[in-house]
Structure 1
Amino acid sequence: MKTLRHPHPSPLLALSLSILLASAGTAFAQGTWSHEDASTARALTPDEAYPELFQSVQQQWLFDDQKQFVDAVPRRDPAAIRADYLTRHQQPGFDLRQFVADNFVPPASAETQPTRPGVSLREHIGNLWPALTRQHAEVPAYSSELPLPHPYVVPGGRFRELYYWDSYFTMLGLVESGEKQLARQMVDNFAHLIDTYGHIPNGTRSYYLSRSQPPFFSFMVELVAQAEGDDAYRRYLPQLQKEYAYWMEGSQTLKPGEAARYVVRLADGSLLNRYWDDRDTPRQESYMQDRETAEQAHGRPASEVYRDLRAGAASGWDYSSRWLEDGKTMATIRTTAIVPIDLNSLLHHLESTIALACKKSTMPSCTEAYGARAERRRQAIERHLWNDAGYYADFDWKKKRLSAQITAATLYPMFVSVASPERAGLTARTVEANLVKPGGLNTTQTDNGQQWDSPNGWAPLQWIAVSGLRRYGQDALAQTIGQNFLAQVQALFDKEHKLVEKYSVEGENLGGGGGEYKLQDGFGWTNGVTLKLLSLYPQEKAAP
């Protein structure tokens, strides 16, 4: 095993323990950390608080899932734990596993229990909402978890905190179940995160603060507005603008062919976006996997590989052949070189939503400015992210070439209504010929063991497809995808009486596979999308 250097946070995130304790001393003294405290300081990440212990635990694979340790809660001041470890760890008979057990409280799983036979799928999902609901206005002082002022729904299993893009699809189901207040509270939590940290992190853990996820906040606001009217647009306008500023930071000074954080300016001056993470160290929740990937990336700086791995996690598609140079090997990952079609479609929706919110707030100059930005992005998408073979695709801004891959992300321009009718029709035909399977919409055409590749189908991508196709009058194809996926969900539910995070859309297996961890039960976004699809196609229960 090679000697590991201690990971260091980027300058943007660096915060010394002394400053943290000075600004949050009262909370620590009381043994809790509240959402009010979070506005003035942040909790240290595990690799900052006790770096030597963190590395030792992860290197020795003390836990099968590397997320387990970074979610554990220290029983006392991390500085004292670190000092104790440094004093004792080389002494004869030192037991690392016992030391961790003595000093940390293991995290509770959010695993849900299968229901009893005879309970309907819809009824089971209704019973899952309270099982997956959490309320943590205060958390233990040294926890990696971030406090939130309102209740929220977690995905399930190892995902025991609030996640960004998962939550939109969960909220669709909450509204369908009549849980509009809980959906609204989740939007308020995201607004709080934007106000507190300047962006919505990947998830509500300190180690997720260096990145975001696919920006669905504008869709969440739209969902609230459908229930509450235009006041929702006016209420969340400040947070919508703050999120946009986060994604566009550094764009004003970019020259053609340059990139800064999330922003890329192409050679013709077009401004588009990519995924990014402010840190270039191994992900704490997948520390050894990232170390092993970097060691296999011969000739590349490890920090570059780590950044691309982290950016891949920010994409939500962690991981996919979309980000891999050779389509199959993790060591060839180059996420930050890719301008993704889905991300830029979502940011067009954000720009359009801000323009609408400004209009509802009687702010004509703001309306015009954001409307113009949305139009410029639409033109850039049409110019740079369209493959003449008949589908939307990702663009490699470093190599100046368009991807030839057909993936489920191609439907995002239809989901946000940015595609022209002609190109929408061509995209629908491409998808029908290449991605539609007996169990729903395939994620890609590549089967390489990554979970965001074939043969896996994911609930959010089914909804993106069904919703986008319906917007352009492609109702028959939308129904085929929706009913096929529902049949797969129902088949696994009939067999195992539970819902899972991903499904196989072809072959004999019902549940999906691949990736860095075992298949998780729950499951927030599957529950939400299933309810929406059942409302559209209530009678279909045929086996796939």
Structure 2
Amino acid sequence: MQRFLLFPLLFCFYCVQAQYGSIQPPDRLYGALLTDVQMSKVFKDGKTFVDCVPKKDPKAIASGYKSLRNNPLVRYSLKGFVDDNFSEPANPASGYVSDKSEPVTNHINKLWSVLSHAPDVAVNGSSLLPLPNPYIMPGGRFREIYYWDSYFTMLGLQESGMYAMIENMINNFAFMVQQYGHIPNGNRSYFLSRSQPPFFSMMLDLLAAQYGNRVYAQYQMTLQREYNYWMDKTDARGHTVTMPDGSVLNRYYDQDNVPRQESFFEDSTLALSSKSKNIRQLYRDLRSGAESGWDFSSRWLADGQHLSTIQTTRLVPVDLNCLIYHMELTLSKAYKETGDLVQSAYYSKLAGKRKKAIMKYCWSSAQGWYVDYHIGRKRQSAEMTLAGVVPFFVKLAPEEHINRVAATLEKSFLKAGGLMTTLKNTGEQWDAPNGWAPLQWMAIEGLNNYNKKELARTVATRWAELNIKVYKSTGKLMEKYNVVDTNLEAGGGEYEAQDGFGWTNGVLLKLLKMYNLQ
């Protein structure tokens, strides 16, 4: 039996977060077993093992494996040991067969129930963090709730009139803030060290559209704790950056510096082949790239090409700071609703300061585009990505910037199937030729906010037509699409193309209704 003795040594760097109490991710529970399973590629997808449900006490499983592993006289099957001690997770849509002949809107409305997850039941040793309310999963390998995915899924739930589900999901996020001090990447123990793009305040806007501004008062304390997490006012540290002029902006910063448990093989293999002298920093940057949701993209790479040069924590992302700007404005609104005008004015002022800093550090007059800012080099990134449209999505950009940005969108990013994510094809999934539903939506909304309605319609139409074309061919809506050659599937990433798919369903349904498409 092949063993991987090198990798358990990496865990000496791991520090369990005190605020998570007794919750331990799979690497801490199973030690050498996780290392051997992941490095032996027992499962094609590394996420499978960390989502497995133990059939008995995890300590007994780990102890039993240790005895087998350390006995040279015993021959054993690693896959057999896993099968004996764990139950494999199911695909959310397994057994579901779509009818390609029916309209895509019918398909999406049927999928809501397929992708629905009942309130969780706690299982000792499972990585799933139990949630008290129902929720929508993205689909495929993603069999839990995800933070930023959920906002775009909610756009479709809104069109379907499923406000109870929207409220349930928001309450689940509020529950996680209460339990863990922040909204994790998803409700898995191995996601607790990071969050994702903070869309909670945007979710409140959706709920307030139905129930009125009392929503902001109702979730004020939750939103405040979410803000405190991002502003380093909790046990978590590293998300804030003091800029050269003393202003404060934010970055992505995972709290851990070990291989991602769900991508253990990929991260460990990259570390072995990397020339980096600081492997722990490499792991943190990979994890922080996952916190960004853009895992992975040329925007995070020092040389713009190779994942081994990832430098996520060295960059101040324009889109993250726009979302926190919206969070500050929403906090101002929430405090106004509760009658605290002093705090309301305070957060309005903070939002104004952030807006000024974003304009100073992220607007590139040379490129006519909003870009990330490199902390160490004290200059703007040269990478142009669709993150540059987010200032228009949150209505932060001045009117005079829209013409240059719209011209670049149309000339460089717009393709037959919608907008490319970046202008580089590196093989990473958040690069050309791929397009993603959340970025299409933010671009379309940003263009509409600044009266570029014709271009917005063009983007929406091309994206919707590509989605529908693939649906009519396969009966599925996908996680991402190749927008350059609409006859090819999207590629890149650490796993196979996923179908389902939460945010694609949500954005497509919203666009179909908005533009009367079918």
User: SS in structure 2 opposite 1:214?
Assistant: coil
Aligned partner of 2:112 in structure 1 is 129
Offset of residue 44 of structure 1: 1.5
State whether residues 25 and 127 of structure 2, in contact with CA within 8 Å, keep that contact through their aligned partners in structure 1: yes
| Aligned-partner residue type, residue 269 of structure 1 | G
How far apart in 1 are the matches of 2:492 and 2:301? 16
Q: Select 1:382's aligned residue among 359, 375, 378.
A: 359
Which position in structure 2 is the counterpart of 1:504? 482
Q: Deviations over 1:227-262 (max 9, x none)?
A: 0001100000000100000000169xxxxxxx9510
Aligned counterparts of 1:106 and 1:12: Cα–Cα separation in 2:
26
Query: Cα distance, 1:527 vs. partner?
Result: 0.2
Deviation at 1:283, TM superposition (A): 0.2
Aligned match of 1:392: 370
Residue 6 of structure 2 is aligned to residue 3 of structure 1: yes
The answer on 1:309 being equivalent to 2:293 is no
Which of residues 39, 45, 48 is equivalent to 1:59?
A: 39
State the Cα deviation string for residues 508-532 of structure 1 (Å, max 9, x = none).
4343111100000100000000011
Q: Give the alignment of 1:154-165 within 5 angstroms.
A: 154-165=137-148
Deviation for aligned residue 1:178: 1.1
Which whole-Å CA distance do the structure 1 matches of 2:239 and 2:16 have between them?
Answer: 14
Partner Cα distance (1:444, 1:316) in 2: 14
CA pair 260-269 structure 1, distance change in 2 beyond 3 A: farther
Summarize the Cα distance change of 1:381–1:279 in structure 2 as closer, same or farther, 3 Å threshold: same
Alpha-carbon distance in 1 for matches of 2:198, 2:27: 27
Cα separation, 1, equivalents of 2:376 and 2:16: 25
Q: 1:355 is paired with a residue of what secondary structure?
A: helix
| Structure 1 pair 11–443 and aligned structure 2 pair: CA distance change class (3 A) | same
**Counterpart-to-counterpart distance in 2, 1:432 and 1:400:** 30
Tell me which residue corresponds to 1:139: 122
Which amino acid in 2 is paired with 1:65? D
Question: Which amino acid in structure 1 is aligned with residue 112 of structure 2?
Answer: W
Whether 1:295 aligns to 2:263 is no
Q: Deviations over 1:191-226 (max 9, x none)?
A: 111111100000100000000000000000111011
CA pair 178-288 structure 1, distance change in 2 beyond 3 A = same
**Structure 2: gaps spanning 5 or more residues:** none
> Using a 3 Å threshold, how does the CA distance of structure 1 residues 508 and 228 change in structure 2: closer, same or farther?
closer
Contact 1:8–1:281, Cα closer than 8 Å, also in 2: no
Of 43, 48, 56 in structure 1, the residue corresponding to residue 28 of structure 2 is: 48
Percent sequence identity over matched residues? 45
The verdict on how the C-alpha distance between 1:64 and 1:407 changes in structure 2, with shifts beyond 3 A counting, is: same
Q: Distance in 2 between matches of 1:128 and 1:9?
A: 42
Matches within 5 A, 1:463-542: 463-539=441-517
Give the aligned partner of residue 346 of structure 2. 369
Alpha-carbon RMSD across the aligned residues, in angstroms, is 1.6
Contact 1:155/1:523 (<8 A) preserved: yes
Report the Cα distance in structure 2 between the residues aligned to 1:525 and 1:190, rounded to whole angstroms.
17
Aligned residues: 509
Is residue 2:418 matched to residue 1:440?
yes
Distance 1:421 1:230, change over 3 A: same
Q: Distance in 1 between matches of 2:92 and 2:13?
A: 29
- 1:52-451 correspondence to structure 2 within 5 Å: 52-89=32-69, 90=71, 91-111=73-93, 113-249=96-232, 261-388=238-365, 389-451=367-429
Q: Secondary structure at the match of 2:349?
A: helix
Please, which moves more after superposition, 174-183 or 242-251?
A: 242-251
Contact 1:412 1:464 (C-alpha < 8 Å) held by counterparts? yes
Partner Cα distance (2:151, 2:276) in 1: 40
The 2-side partners of 1:77 and 1:116 are apart by 43
3-state secondary structure, aligned to 1:463: helix
Structure 1 residues 440-490: Cα deviation after superposition (integer angstroms, max 9, x where no partner)? 011000001100000000000010011111011110111111001001001
What whole-Å deviation, never above 9, does each CA across 1:297-333 have from its counterpart, x for those lacking one? 2142110100000000000000000001111111000
Question: 1:171 & 1:8 partners in 2: Cα distance?
Answer: 40
Residues 387 and 402 of structure 1 are in contact (CA less than 8 Å); yes or no, is this contact kept in structure 2?
yes
Is 1:13 the counterpart of 2:10? The answer is: no
Separation of aligned partners in 2, 1:375 and 1:12: 37
Please report how far the alpha carbon of residue 92 of structure 1 lies from its aligned counterpart in structure 2 after TM superposition.
2.6
Aligned equivalents of 2:269 and 2:487: distance in 1? 29
In structure 1, C-alpha distance between the alignment counterparts of 2:486 and 2:436, rounded to whole Å? 17
| Deviation sequence 1:150-207 (CA, Å, 0-9, x none) | 0000000000000000000001100101111111111111111111110000010000
Other structure's SS at 2:249 match? strand
| Paired residue type of 1:104 | F
Deviation at 1:117, TM superposition (A): 3.2
Per-residue deviation, 1:52: 1.1
On the 8 A contact 1:6/1:52 being kept in 2, the answer is no
CA distance in 1, matches of 2:440, 2:12: 39
User: TM-score when scaled to structure 1?
Assistant: 0.91
Is the 2:335–2:343 contact (alpha carbons within 8 Å) kept by the matching residues of 1?
yes
Taking the aligned partners of 2:431 and 2:478, their CA distance within structure 1 comes to 17
Letter in 1 for 2:87: V
What stretches of structure 1 of length at least 5 have no aligned partner? 16-39, 252-258
Deviations 1:90-143 (A, max 9, x none): 343211111111111111112364412321100000000000000133221211
8 Å contact kept, 1:262–1:276: yes
Instruction: Report the CA distance between 1:6 and its aligned residue.
Output: 4.4
Distance across 2 between alignment mates of 1:338 and 1:12: 26
Query: For 2:509 and 2:122, how far apart are their aligned partners in 1?
Result: 32
2:93–2:114 Cα contact (<8 Å) kept:
no
Q: Does structure 2 conserve the Cα–Cα contact (< 8 Å) formed by 1:492 and 1:511?
A: no
- Please identify, of 392-401 and 428-437, the stretch whose mean Cα deviation from structure 2 is larger: 428-437
CA 1:8–1:183 in 2, change beyond 3 Å: closer, same or farther?
farther
1:9/1:266 CA distance change after superposition, 3 Å? same
